[in-house]
Amino acid sequence: MRTRHFTTSTGRRRTLAGDARFGLCGRLLVCIALVLLAVEGCPLHAAEAKTNGPALVQVSGLGVLGNREMARLLRNFQLKQQQPALLDRAFAEDAALVLLSRMTHEGYLNARLEAQFVLADGRRRDFHWTNAMEVLLPGDFAAREARFHVRKGVRFYYDSLEIAGAEAIPTRAAQRYFVSGDTLLNLRANRVFSPARLNESVAALREALARRGYREAQVTATNVVLDPVSGAARVDIVVMEGRPTVVRSVLSEVLEPDAPTPSTTSMLRPDGPYSPFWQQDFARRLREVQFARGFPDAAVEFTVLGGETNATRIELDLKARVNTGQRVTLGEVRFEGRKRTRESVLEQHARLEEGQPLNRLEAEQARQRLARLGVFDWVSLRYDPPEEATRDVVYELAESKAISLSVLGGYGSYELLRGGLEFEHRNVLGLAHSARLRGIQSFKATSGDFLYTVPELFVENLDFSVRGSGLRREEVSFTREEYGGSAGIHKRIAPIQSDLFVKYNYEFLNARDVASATTNLVGVTEARAAAIVVDLTRDRRDNPLSPRRGVKVFGNMELAADALGGNVNYQRFLVGGSWHHNLGGGRLLHLGVTHGLTFTWGGSDVELPFNKRFFPGGENSVRGYQQGEASPLDANGDQLGAETFTQANLELEQLVTRSWSVVAFFDAVGFALRREDYPWDEGLYSVGGGVRWHTIIGPVRLEYGHNLNRRAHDPAGTLHFSIGYPF
């Protein structure tokens, strides 16, 4: 088979396989994905829909995305979200109300709505609204077409916001209830003013004070001045906090049916802020104790025993009386709305025993287990009859769509365009098992995998899965081929809020087109690896796609041995984490550290598969390099991979708007070709910056990394365009 060679600007030779090795299956997947995307957006759909009968509804004046969003919202008014052949008066007036209300909430207080209708008899009628109640349509109104055009007018915004009297909450924090976020550019879009928004912000600030114990706090908007030409709003907020109220003590009593006196009493001294929210939480905890005893109707009454007011605060002494109500027995467990899912599966996961005392906590936990199966849109719970001594537990189920086909797409600076298809069945044979088949093709790689998952196997929060996968990827100086399968379990460990994965993995590991000089240095290029793999992850970030606060730590251990069925022995460890902190003023600090070590304890040094070495570098690693380039090289510039490495990433991000930010970063990696030089004997460093656009699928990143101490075959720097968070 012919192999084509070319040389990069750094002088390193790379290889590309011929057409047969480029991945015909992957090409077909990309073609199918592009065809589906084209058909999805084809205007013929609109014409076809029109000729089939549904009335035409269009919205303009809000931008491409805004027009589509509002048109979809109006369609939701209709039965089954489908437009009828004729639009009635109620639809037209409701549409006007929704559109004008949306504009008012977005700060366009003087928005104007123009509507053009084609009536059932073919006549055209035009209407204009500045208030949804201005125009009343005739009772026999019926239209085949409705075109709404919004003229926004001036947008009102907070030009000046003064808050006086707030001490429990700092002024800057109090202002965030009215204007959103800290950004470098104080855009009007972040300071939208409307009367409704103002009332919501005042209520939110009052609630925040109440949660801190300021029960009688007053928040008032005064001196509201609006400029109708520029849209500038000047608002003064006056806060009168009063004294905070704290709970000094709580006398808790439990009164059971037919008991003349309370059965148990206890004295608690929380010494914390008092608020309705504290009272609700305290009552919930007292009721849960009785739920476990079979008293589902337990109620809590609070009375004030006394108190003391001093110069700084109000102290309360409370009594919480728990009236247990009657003891209730569990009757039948019923499931309503079930169509495809087997009832035996539902009973297995509900785990409720008829004839036992009714425990509302266990019934709710059973509802959560059913919801976690992933085959229902929602699961609700009710008791029937609601007030008898024996009650049935009834779960109302709404089964979700079982089969779906999705088009996948993405972009990375090394693999370039990625496309593929994903088929998923979420309720195989009605057993609540899921099966997923996925194929992805890019300019550098072809991959596919099949995953079969059995949820909640024997133990709560314990899933079992089997997986088969294949990968062929053109690295910088060799071709990676990996095929195999695994079987294992996933357990959510609630006390430490972590996820544990344990699996048996069997792989065929091949490294093609490796230079002959390289093979003498790095071990085997073809291997069968059988290993036990353990993953432990704890993710406490506020957002996995665009984190601003929180910590993530992870560890991975892979133990391969010929006794498990392979022909190599090696051990591989990878640990790391990231830390994200909001510095204020729209500035975010991100720090990531990763360390890896692989060796062959109990085997020969030459048994370590080439694929199991570490190849740092790339858009999610050291950004001055392409994927895998920041690793040990031979004299010709070909990759050798590292047996040990330590990587650090430091970023300072500044929010320019709510969606856009600029970032400066420093990436460093230390590595060693052999573990004898642990932890490293060579280091590489990159600095750079870029811009990010934060979307619902993660940040879209354009970044450039410059290498500070590049080697003979290294590039001066690398430009990356990608989607997703780097670490």
Q: What is the pLDDT of residue 702?
A: 95
Phi, psi of 92 (to 5 degrees): -65, -45
For residues 248 and 95, give the distance between their C-alpha atoms in angstroms, rounded to a whole number: 53
Residue 21, pLDDT above cutoff 90:
no
What are the residues whose beta carbons fall under 8 Å from the beta carbon of 88, sequence distance 6 or more? 141, 142
Is the domain covering 329-399 a CATH 3.90.850.10 domain? no
Residue 15, pLDDT above cutoff 80:
no
CB-based contact 270:250 (threshold 8 Å): yes
For the chain, what are the domain ranges? 3-40, 53-151, 157-240, 245-323, 329-399, 403-723
Q: What is the pLDDT of residue 545?
A: 85
pLDDT digits (tens, 9 = 90+) for 226-258: 999 999 999 999 999 999 999 999 999 998 887
To the nearest 10 degrees (0 to 180), the angle between helices 276-291 and 360-372 is 100
Give strand ranges (E) for 340-478. Answer: 376-384, 390-399, 403-412, 416-428, 433-442, 445-454, 462-474
Residue 34, pLDDT above cutoff 70:
no
Residue 560, pLDDT above cutoff 90:
yes
* Beta partners for residue 560, in sequence order: 531, 570
CB-based contact 217:239 (threshold 8 Å): yes
- By the 10 Å C-beta count (0-12 exposed, 13-18 middle, 19+ buried), 112 is classed as middle
Q: What is the pLDDT of residue 576?
A: 97
Measure the CA dihedral 198/200/206/212, to 10°: -130
CA-closest candidate to residue 407, choices 420, 416, 417:
420
600 pLDDT band, cuts 50/70/90, is confident
Structure tokens at 600: 């062959």
Q: What is the pLDDT of residue 69?
A: 87
Phi, psi of 249 (to 5 degrees): -155, 155
Structure tokens at 542: 């506020």
In angstroms, the first-to-last Cα distance of the chain is 39
pLDDT digits (tens, 9 = 90+) for 70-97: 888 887 766 666 778 889 998 888 899 9
Indicate if 403-723 has the same CATH topology as 157-240: no
Q: What percent of the chain has pLDDT over 70?
A: 90
> Worst-scoring range by mean pLDDT, 174-188, 204-218, 325-339, 654-668?
174-188
CATH code at 53-151: 3.10.20
Residue 606, pLDDT above cutoff 60:
yes
Q: What is the pLDDT of residue 622?
A: 96
The structural architecture, per CATH, of the domain 403-723 is: Beta Barrel (2.40)
Q: What is the pLDDT of residue 637?
A: 85
Q: Which residue has the tokens 């009236």?
A: 323
Q: What is the pLDDT of residue 19?
A: 40
Q: If you write DSSP's letter for every residue of 20-85 in order, what string do you get? A: GGS-HHHHHHHHHHHHHHHHHT-THHHHHHHHTSPPEEEEESSHHHHHHHHHHHHHTTSGGG---S
Within 10 Å of residue 260's Cβ, how many Cβ atoms? 5
Structure tokens at 84: 């009828």
> Worst-scoring range by mean pLDDT, 74-88, 218-232, 486-500, 542-556?
74-88
For residues 547 and 24, give the distance between their C-alpha atoms in angstroms, rounded to a whole number: 38
Correct CATH for 157-240 of 3.80.10.10, 3.40.1390.10, 3.40.50.11260, 3.10.20.310 = 3.10.20.310
Q: What is the pLDDT of residue 605?
A: 63
pLDDT digits (tens, 9 = 90+) for 151-183: 999 999 999 999 999 999 998 899 989 997 677
The b-or-e profile of 127-145 (16+ CB within 10 A means b, else e) is: bebeebeeeebeeebbbbe
Structure tokens at 468: 């088969």
Phi, psi of 237 (to 5 degrees): -115, 125
Q: Could you tell me how many residues make up the chain? A: 727
Q: What is the pLDDT of residue 529?
A: 95
CA-closest candidate to residue 538, choices 555, 513, 520:
555
For residues 64 and 61, give the distance between their C-alpha atoms in angstroms, rounded to a whole number: 9
CB-based contact 705:667 (threshold 8 Å): yes
For residues 363 and 19, give the distance between their C-alpha atoms in angstroms, rounded to a whole number: 59
For residues 420 and 436, give the distance between their C-alpha atoms in angstroms, rounded to a whole number: 13
